[in-house]
Structure 1
Protein backbone atom coordinates (compact mmCIF):
# COMPACT_ATOMS: atom_id res chain seq x y z
CA UNK A 1 0.00 0.00 0.00
CA UNK A 2 1.24 3.48 -0.94
CA UNK A 3 0.32 6.69 0.87
CA UNK A 4 0.71 10.07 -0.78
CA UNK A 5 0.04 13.64 0.16
CA UNK A 6 0.72 17.10 -1.12
CA UNK A 7 0.70 20.40 0.76
CA UNK A 8 0.10 23.61 -1.18
CA UNK A 9 1.12 27.02 0.11
CA UNK A 10 -0.96 29.57 -1.78
CA UNK A 11 -1.09 33.34 -1.86
CA UNK A 12 -4.58 34.75 -2.28
CA UNK A 13 -5.27 37.77 -4.46
CA UNK A 14 -7.29 40.77 -3.28
CA UNK A 15 -8.37 39.38 0.11
CA UNK A 16 -8.77 41.61 3.15
CA UNK A 17 -10.83 39.48 5.56
CA UNK A 18 -11.17 35.90 6.71
CA UNK A 19 -14.68 35.83 5.25
CA UNK A 20 -13.35 36.73 1.81
CA UNK A 21 -10.55 34.19 2.25
CA UNK A 22 -13.13 31.45 2.89
CA UNK A 23 -15.00 32.49 -0.26
CA UNK A 24 -11.82 31.86 -2.26
CA UNK A 25 -10.52 28.72 -0.52
CA UNK A 26 -13.80 26.77 -0.20
CA UNK A 27 -14.47 26.57 -3.96
CA UNK A 28 -10.92 25.31 -4.55
CA UNK A 29 -11.31 22.62 -1.89
CA UNK A 30 -14.74 21.65 -3.28
CA UNK A 31 -13.44 21.44 -6.85
CA UNK A 32 -10.53 19.21 -5.85
CA UNK A 33 -12.83 16.95 -3.81
CA UNK A 34 -15.41 16.70 -6.61
CA UNK A 35 -13.01 16.28 -9.52
CA UNK A 36 -10.50 13.89 -7.94
CA UNK A 37 -12.54 12.31 -5.11
CA UNK A 38 -9.61 12.45 -2.69
CA UNK A 39 -9.20 13.83 0.82
CA UNK A 40 -8.62 17.59 0.89
CA UNK A 41 -8.73 20.29 3.57
CA UNK A 42 -7.37 23.68 4.51
CA UNK A 43 -4.57 22.66 6.88
CA UNK A 44 -2.77 25.82 7.92
CA UNK A 45 -2.51 29.60 7.98
CA UNK A 46 -6.10 29.77 9.23
CA UNK A 47 -5.75 33.25 10.71
CA UNK A 48 -3.85 34.85 7.82
CA UNK A 49 -5.96 36.73 5.28
CA UNK A 50 -3.83 36.32 2.17
CA UNK A 51 -2.23 32.91 2.72
CA UNK A 52 -3.67 29.42 2.83
CA UNK A 53 -2.32 25.92 3.08
CA UNK A 54 -4.33 23.17 1.44
CA UNK A 55 -3.50 19.50 1.94
CA UNK A 56 -4.57 16.55 -0.18
CA UNK A 57 -3.96 12.86 0.50
CA UNK A 58 -4.72 9.45 -0.92
CA UNK A 59 -3.78 5.79 -0.78
CA UNK A 60 -3.33 3.34 -3.63
CA UNK A 61 -1.72 0.07 -4.53
CA UNK A 62 0.38 1.84 -7.17
CA UNK A 63 2.91 4.59 -6.52
CA UNK A 64 2.59 5.88 -10.08
CA UNK A 65 -1.17 6.37 -9.67
CA UNK A 66 -0.63 8.52 -6.57
CA UNK A 67 2.04 10.63 -8.24
CA UNK A 68 -0.14 11.15 -11.33
CA UNK A 69 -3.21 12.16 -9.30
CA UNK A 70 -1.37 14.49 -6.93
CA UNK A 71 0.46 16.16 -9.82
CA UNK A 72 -2.90 16.70 -11.54
CA UNK A 73 -4.26 18.33 -8.37
CA UNK A 74 -1.21 20.60 -8.28
CA UNK A 75 -1.85 21.63 -11.90
CA UNK A 76 -5.47 22.44 -11.05
CA UNK A 77 -4.44 24.66 -8.13
CA UNK A 78 -1.72 26.37 -10.17
CA UNK A 79 -4.21 27.21 -12.94
CA UNK A 80 -6.60 29.03 -10.60
CA UNK A 81 -6.38 32.75 -11.54
CA UNK A 82 -7.35 34.05 -8.10
CA UNK A 83 -4.39 32.42 -6.32
CA UNK A 84 -0.65 32.08 -6.74
CA UNK A 85 0.86 28.70 -5.89
CA UNK A 86 3.97 29.52 -3.84
CA UNK A 87 5.09 25.98 -3.08
CA UNK A 88 4.08 22.36 -3.23
CA UNK A 89 5.42 19.56 -1.04
CA UNK A 90 4.69 16.12 -2.48
CA UNK A 91 5.44 13.02 -0.41
CA UNK A 92 4.83 9.35 -1.21
CA UNK A 93 5.62 6.54 1.21
CA UNK A 94 5.03 2.83 1.28
CA UNK A 95 3.17 1.51 4.33
CA UNK A 96 6.19 -0.65 5.20
CA UNK A 97 8.23 2.58 5.64
CA UNK A 98 6.45 3.27 8.94
Structure 2
Protein backbone atom coordinates (compact mmCIF):
# COMPACT_ATOMS: atom_id res chain seq x y z
CA UNK A 1 0.00 0.00 0.00
CA UNK A 2 1.26 3.46 -0.90
CA UNK A 3 -0.01 6.89 0.04
CA UNK A 4 0.81 10.13 -1.64
CA UNK A 5 0.06 13.74 -0.83
CA UNK A 6 0.46 16.97 -2.71
CA UNK A 7 0.15 20.52 -1.41
CA UNK A 8 -0.61 23.18 -4.00
CA UNK A 9 0.10 26.81 -3.13
CA UNK A 10 -1.94 29.00 -5.47
CA UNK A 11 -2.26 32.70 -6.15
CA UNK A 12 -5.80 33.81 -6.84
CA UNK A 13 -6.83 36.76 -9.04
CA UNK A 14 -6.76 40.29 -7.65
CA UNK A 15 -10.54 40.46 -7.44
CA UNK A 16 -10.62 37.81 -4.68
CA UNK A 17 -10.43 40.43 -1.94
CA UNK A 18 -13.23 38.90 0.11
CA UNK A 19 -13.44 35.39 1.53
CA UNK A 20 -16.66 34.89 -0.45
CA UNK A 21 -14.85 35.73 -3.70
CA UNK A 22 -11.97 33.47 -2.68
CA UNK A 23 -14.35 30.54 -2.16
CA UNK A 24 -15.82 31.20 -5.61
CA UNK A 25 -12.39 30.38 -7.10
CA UNK A 26 -11.40 27.54 -4.75
CA UNK A 27 -14.66 25.57 -4.69
CA UNK A 28 -14.65 24.66 -8.41
CA UNK A 29 -11.02 23.54 -8.17
CA UNK A 30 -11.84 21.25 -5.25
CA UNK A 31 -14.82 19.83 -7.16
CA UNK A 32 -12.69 19.19 -10.25
CA UNK A 33 -10.02 17.41 -8.19
CA UNK A 34 -12.63 15.15 -6.57
CA UNK A 35 -13.26 13.58 -9.98
CA UNK A 36 -10.03 11.64 -9.40
CA UNK A 37 -11.68 9.96 -6.37
CA UNK A 38 -9.16 11.36 -3.90
CA UNK A 39 -9.33 13.29 -0.66
CA UNK A 40 -9.02 17.02 -1.23
CA UNK A 41 -9.37 20.10 0.98
CA UNK A 42 -8.34 23.70 1.34
CA UNK A 43 -5.84 23.42 4.18
CA UNK A 44 -3.87 26.64 4.46
CA UNK A 45 -4.00 30.40 4.00
CA UNK A 46 -7.65 30.21 5.01
CA UNK A 47 -7.86 33.83 6.14
CA UNK A 48 -5.53 35.27 3.49
CA UNK A 49 -7.12 37.00 0.56
CA UNK A 50 -5.65 36.11 -2.81
CA UNK A 51 -3.88 32.92 -1.66
CA UNK A 52 -4.95 29.34 -1.05
CA UNK A 53 -3.34 26.05 -0.17
CA UNK A 54 -5.06 22.95 -1.48
CA UNK A 55 -4.03 19.45 -0.41
CA UNK A 56 -4.81 16.10 -2.02
CA UNK A 57 -4.23 12.59 -0.68
CA UNK A 58 -4.14 9.33 -2.64
CA UNK A 59 -4.01 5.69 -1.51
CA UNK A 60 -3.18 2.91 -3.97
CA UNK A 61 -1.64 -0.53 -4.19
CA UNK A 62 1.21 0.64 -6.44
CA UNK A 63 3.52 3.64 -6.18
CA UNK A 64 3.25 4.24 -9.91
CA UNK A 65 -0.49 4.70 -9.68
CA UNK A 66 -0.11 7.19 -6.83
CA UNK A 67 2.38 9.19 -8.91
CA UNK A 68 0.11 9.11 -11.94
CA UNK A 69 -2.87 10.43 -9.97
CA UNK A 70 -0.78 13.19 -8.37
CA UNK A 71 0.55 14.14 -11.82
CA UNK A 72 -3.01 14.43 -13.11
CA UNK A 73 -4.01 16.57 -10.12
CA UNK A 74 -1.04 18.87 -10.66
CA UNK A 75 -1.85 19.26 -14.36
CA UNK A 76 -5.45 20.10 -13.52
CA UNK A 77 -4.49 22.80 -11.01
CA UNK A 78 -1.71 24.22 -13.20
CA UNK A 79 -4.08 24.32 -16.17
CA UNK A 80 -6.61 26.57 -14.47
CA UNK A 81 -6.28 29.91 -16.30
CA UNK A 82 -7.75 31.98 -13.45
CA UNK A 83 -5.05 31.06 -10.91
CA UNK A 84 -1.28 30.84 -10.75
CA UNK A 85 0.30 27.71 -9.27
CA UNK A 86 3.18 28.96 -7.11
CA UNK A 87 4.52 25.69 -5.74
CA UNK A 88 3.80 22.00 -5.28
CA UNK A 89 5.11 19.82 -2.47
CA UNK A 90 4.67 16.08 -2.92
CA UNK A 91 5.31 13.11 -0.63
CA UNK A 92 5.12 9.39 -1.20
CA UNK A 93 4.92 6.92 1.68
CA UNK A 94 5.29 3.18 1.26
CA UNK A 95 4.81 0.14 3.43
CA UNK A 96 8.24 0.58 5.02
CA UNK A 97 7.62 4.15 6.23
Structure 1-normalised TM-score?
A: 0.95
Are 1:26 and 2:27 counterparts?
yes
Indicate the residue corresponding to 1:62 in structure 2.
Answer: 62
Offset of 1:37 from its aligned partner? 1.1
Distance in 2 separating the partners of 1:90 and 1:64: 14
CA displacement 1:26-60 (0-9 Å, x = unmatched): 01001110x20110000000000100000000111
Distance in 2 separating the partners of 1:90 and 1:74: 10
Structure with greater proportional helix content: 1
Q: CA RMSD in A?
A: 0.7
Offset of 1:96 from its aligned partner? 2.3
Please, which runs of 5 or more residues in structure 2 have no aligned partner? Answer: none
Offset of 1:95 from its aligned partner? 3.0
Matched positions, count: 96
Distance in 2 separating the partners of 1:72 and 1:82: 18
Distance in 2 separating the partners of 1:16 and 1:61: 42
Q: Could you list the runs of 4 or more consecutive aligned residues of structure 1 that deviate by over 6 angstroms after TM superposition?
A: none
